[in-house]
Amino acid sequence: MILTHLHYDHAGNFDRLSNARFHLQERELAYASGRYVQYPRLSHSFEAEDVCGIVRLNYARRVLFYDGDAEIAPGLTVHAAGGHSAGLQFVRVNTRRGPVVLASDVSHFTENMTSERPFTTALHVGDMLAGFDKLRAVAPDGDHIVPGHDPLVMKLYPAPSPDLSSVAVRLDVAPSVGAHS
């Protein structure tokens, strides 16, 4: 299980994945348990129990930590980006249409990246802007970058089956129109 970061909407429910190993940037755990979370402006994005859960999983030898970019498996890499959170990472995965970059919160919405206007919750705005550059550097083009929270993703990509419409999409096929046109 790749954890892009430990914010409450990207982590938790670890007990439901009893056999999983978790991939995380080491800086993220240091940030989520460090001095900056004393500030409500930053701590509101974390659930203390999720952070404690990762610590427990680490004691159980189920967390693999990274310090920067790494290959998880052939055709599957993680890339450190920071900005929104100290140890934020995004994922690049090879598909039949080529490499697809799952931006997670490096770019919440397509517009954040195309307009170079970072999302409002940020630890470091400069790192967030540099993260946009990094997304573009590892993707063949903008249509291969999938933002983390953009509702347009559900409109641009087809569902894998009719019963999964508005639940999941196929990212191994091109978007219906240019996502970054």
Confidence at residue 71, expressed as pLDDT on a 0 to 100 scale? 98
The alpha carbon of 24 is separated from its chain's Cα centroid by a whole number of angstroms, namely 10
Using the predicted structure, report yes or no on whether residue 154 has a pLDDT greater than 80. yes
Mean pLDDT of 54-69: 98
| Residue 151: CB atoms within 10 Å | 9
What confidence tier does 180 reach under pLDDT thresholds 50, 70, 90?
low
Rounded Cα distance, 54 and 48, in Å: 10
Using the predicted structure, report yes or no on whether residue 130 has a pLDDT greater than 70. yes
What confidence tier does 19 reach under pLDDT thresholds 50, 70, 90?
very high
Confidence at residue 159, expressed as pLDDT on a 0 to 100 scale? 96
Those residues with Cβ within 8 angstroms of residue 45's Cβ, 6 or more apart along the chain or in another chain: 7, 8, 85, 121
Confidence at residue 179, expressed as pLDDT on a 0 to 100 scale? 54
Mean pLDDT of 109-127: 93
Structure-token match 């056999």, residue found: 19
Residue type, 2: I
| Residue 67: CB atoms within 10 Å | 10
User: For residue 26, what is the enclosing H or E element?
Assistant: helix 26-32
Supply the mean pLDDT for the chain. 95
